[in-house]
Amino acid sequence: ALAEEEGPTIQGLDSSVEIEAGSSKEMGLSLSPANEISDVKWECNVDQSNTGISASFSGNTLIINVANDKTTAKIQVTATYTESAAPPDPGSGESEGEETTPEATQAEATEKTVQGNCTVTVKNTPVDIKVTGVELTATSTSLNLTTSKTATLTAAITPDDATDKSVTWSVSGDA
């Protein structure tokens, strides 16, 4: 069995990223190993339409933009490149006496592609849950405090999952 020739791989491409809605992420990409490689052209495709996720290239930088709170999308990145094979050794003619022409000593160039994938997940944007009610409870049903007397007041905030359940206490009147 013949071993398959291994080509270059895409470096700098995260296989999975989380991005907040309304923001973007950039990834600088390259091919490795880069020997004998030239004319790299980068392309990308988002696998789902209307996800609010878009991707494009600026040079070798993949730019992913997230517009809304849709969940995930897969981006396929393709690098098309030219690979140059080393020119044949001029002294290695197949038969003795064969002339080596200038064209035969040129490197052979082949266009090839390599692909990679990145799954983009949109981070859930925190929802601000407003307080809808405050209920006060005290240690007794009525409070009539005189100097050096104390009582305990407790505030119960609803809903239980309100974003900000902090309470600011103040006293007004004669203190």
Convert the pLDDT of each residue in 119-141 to its tens digit. Answer: 998 887 667 788 899 888 877 76
Cis status of the peptide bond prior to 126, with omega within 30 of 0? no
Identify the burial level of 60 via C-beta atoms within 10 angstroms of its C-beta, where 0-12 means exposed, 13-18 middle and 19 or more buried. middle
Helices (H), the chain: none
pLDDT digits (tens, 9 = 90+) for 155-170: 889 988 888 888 888 8
Find, among 87, 85, 118, the residue nearest to 101 by Cα: 87
CB-based burial, 70-97: b 16+ in 10 Å, e otherwise: beebebebebebebeeeeeeeeeeeeee
Neighbours of 116 (CB within 10 A): 19
Element (H, E) at 55: strand 53-58
Q: So what's the pLDDT on residue 2?
A: 52
According to DSSP, the residues that pair with 72 across neighbouring strands are 121
Q: Are 136 and 154 in contact (CB under 8 A)?
A: yes
Inter-residue contact 140 to 151 (CB < 8 Å): yes
Q: How far apart are CA 62 and CA 40, in angstroms?
A: 14
The 10s digit of each residue's pLDDT in 63-111 is 999 887 767 889 999 999 998 866 655 555 554 555 555 555 556 788 9
pLDDT value at residue 42: 96
What is the pLDDT averaged over residues 9-33? Answer: 92
